[in-house]
Amino acid sequence: MSSLEGKHIVLGISGGIAAYKSVTLLRLLRKAGAEVQVVITPHGKEFITPVTLSSLSGKPVVSEFFTANTGEWHSHVDLGLWADALVIAPATASTLAKMAHGVADNMLITTYLSAKAQVFAAPAMDLDMFAHPTTQRNLRQLREDGVIIIEPASGELASGLTGKGRMEEPEGIFAVLEAYFSTDKPLKGKKILITAGPTYENLDPVRFIGNYSSGKMGFALASQAAKAGAEVTIVAGPVEQPTPSGAVRRIDVTGAREMLAACESVFADADAAIFCAAVADYRPAECCDVKIKRESREEMTLRLTRNPDIAATLSGHKRDGQITVGFALETDHEMENACAKAARKNLDWIVLNSLRDPEAGFRKDTNKVTVIEAATGAGHPFEAKPKEEVARDILKTVFRL
Ligand code: C5P
């Protein structure tokens, strides 16, 4: 049985091309046994007809404050109280802005302001609109207000451009809702920061120093933590990984200093941080504004300067109860070195993977780890497995699930 069986879902639809995907979402919700009340904005009706939506939901679609011919008032307060969840998909830039500022000029926003239940919003817009500081500011505000933002994916957009702004697929939104209502969520209420991928340290506008980290392990941790009910922020270096569905917020960064700044902004509010990124230890002492010329030189010396240690910096000022986890890739005296590293960086746990192991390491889909508790030095060894399963083992051990 689906966790959505019998749940009251208000499905808010605003005016974006992605509104056609809301029909699939509505069908998935109904099939799972949820009762769905559609609230559509005036612009939403230009993209999809209320007749389709009312036939599929089995309820008249609400859009106006009053029914035109009878003058019957639609109570957004009642709707707000009826809902077990309010899902706004697609959430356009305009709807997000109205939500963030309480501009209650349509039924969807009045319902949002009256809702006592958890609100989810799935943004959908062009890449430039999504990246605009205004939209990003509104999204930050909404997150602060407790709205779970279902991140858009990168891909082809209605405009023909390609980038981030494409609404999460209906199946992904459905999975987020199903996970939300599932009772099997041992990490519910926990906020977890995860770093992932490599960092690129720029030499000039076209060259960098980097490494082969794929980000797979960090993204697997983010995906599994979200599935277990956590609210995840993943701070990712340059990687090709898709953002996992669920309550996962992604901050993309390039260099180590940028990664540290992004982590600093999230860490204070986090219950735990898992430092999975392969951060470059050094960066070029100078970054040239223009492309460095080869000219006639046979040799070239690069001067490097130390990068901040993100794990050590943040763990250095963790508060009581905050858990930090690091990774160690060792080639010799593995347990000893890993424990020393955990102590040096003030980590509570350290995940050891050995380069000697053919099933562990960069770009692989499998990993073989030992999860070590810093306080006792006790190691929990695991078999080689796919990174998604390794992620589950790590979370189970660290959070004692
Ligand atoms: O010292 P080492 O690089 O082996 O430490 C690995 C651990 O420290 C990993 O958890 C990694 O994410 C973290 N780290 C970091 N910032 C650095 C270097 C490593 O957060 N500059």
199 domain-assigned: yes
Whether residues 200 and 172 fall in one domain: no
Proportion of the chain above pLDDT 70, given as a percent: 97
Residue 143's pLDDT band (boundaries 50, 70, 90)? confident
Best CA proximity match to 234, nearest among 282, 277, 203, 189: 277
385 and 311 housed in the same domain: yes
Chain mean pLDDT for the chain: 92
Percent of the chain with pLDDT over 90: 75
Question: Residue 196 sits in which domain range?
Answer: 191-398
Please tell me the predicted confidence (pLDDT) of residue 258. 98
pLDDT, one tens digit per residue, over 49-91 is 999 999 999 999 998 876 666 666 777 778 888 999 999 999 9
CATH number at residue 305: 3.40.50.10300
Tell me: do 59 and 157 sit in the same domain: yes
CA of 347, closest atom in ligand 1: 10
237 and 166 together in one domain? no
Q: What residues line ligand 1, using a CB cutoff of 6 Å?
A: 195, 256, 275-277, 279, 281, 307, 309-311, 326-328, 341
Q: How confident is the model at residue 109 (pLDDT cuts 50, 70, 90)?
A: very high
Catalytic choice (211, 307, 337, 346): 211
Domain-embedded: residue 366 = yes
211 is catalytic: yes
- Render pLDDT for 89-107 as a digit per residue (tens, 0 to 9): 999 999 999 999 999 999 9
| Ligand 1 nearest-atom number relative to CA 327 | 10
Digit-coded pLDDT (tens) for 250-308: 999 999 999 999 999 999 999 999 999 999 999 999 988 999 888 878 888 999 999 99
Evaluate if residue 359 carries a pLDDT over 90: no
Q: How far is the CA of 337 from the centre of ligand 1 (A)?
A: 13
How far apart are the CA of 277 and the centre of ligand 1, in A?
7
Q: Residues 189-211: pLDDT tens digits?
A: 899 999 999 999 999 999 999 99
Is 270 within the bounds of a domain? yes
More confident residue, 78 or 395: 395
Statement to judge: residues 210 and 135 lie in one domain: no
> Which of 324, 332, 345 is the pocket-test mutation for ligand 1 (most atoms within 8 Å of CB)?
345
Domain of residue 171, CATH code: 3.40.50.1950
Given 181, 215, 242, which residue is the final one in a domain? Answer: 181
- Note whether 56 and 172 are same-domain residues: yes
Does one domain contain both 25 and 128? yes
